[in-house]
């Protein structure tokens, strides 16, 4: 999967794509309006971070490219790619349980902490991608 060269873009299906893990230095795009919300992305080889209305949404270490990111009250779904294995963190509902699916296979149920953070590691090889779905239980 290619990196998102625009850093942040709206897709025709109503989802967002963001991140470019091929960049050597931190690059950001701010004040991106999408469906009435304001988004900001910071991305490069070491980290990718997405904020919505000034609040944390997604972060990965190392940097990643995320395509077709969709978030509802009960589910988050997207495709992630990176140069190597990646760990991402999502901001979800505090102290809640979610089932995580990687490429359609359950990776198990995981709980968020008091601040609503959920961290997941995904094994990837150079430029490979994985379909991720996180569903509230």
pLDDT digit string, tens, across residues 45-62: 999 999 999 999 999 999
Give pTM, 2 decimals.
0.94
CA-to-CA distance for 115 and 93, rounded, in angstroms? 8
**E strands present in the chain:** 8-10, 16-18, 27-34, 37-44, 47-52, 55-61, 65-71, 75-81, 86-91, 97-102, 105-111, 117-122, 129-136
Query: Could you tell me the domains of the chain?
Result: 8-136 (2.60.40.2750)
pLDDT digit string, tens, across residues 10-26: 999 999 999 999 999 99
């Amino acid at each position: 999967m290619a990196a998102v060269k625009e850093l942040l873009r709206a897709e025709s299906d109503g989802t967002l794509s963001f991140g470019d893990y091929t960049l050597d230095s931190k690059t950001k795009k701010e004040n991106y309006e999408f469906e009435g919300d304001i988004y900001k992305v910071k991305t490069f080889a070491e980290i990718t971070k997405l904020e919505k209305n000034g609040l944390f949404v997604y972060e990965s270490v190392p940097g990643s490219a995320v395509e077709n990111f969709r978030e509802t009250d009960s589910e988050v779904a997207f495709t992630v790619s990176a140069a190597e294995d990646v760990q991402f963190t999502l901001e979800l509902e505090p102290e809640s349980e979610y089932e995580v699916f990687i490429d359609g296979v359950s990776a198990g149920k995981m709980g968020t902490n008091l601040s609503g953070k959920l961290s997941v590691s995904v094994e990837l090889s150079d430029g490979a991608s994985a379909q991720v779905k996180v569903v509230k239980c």
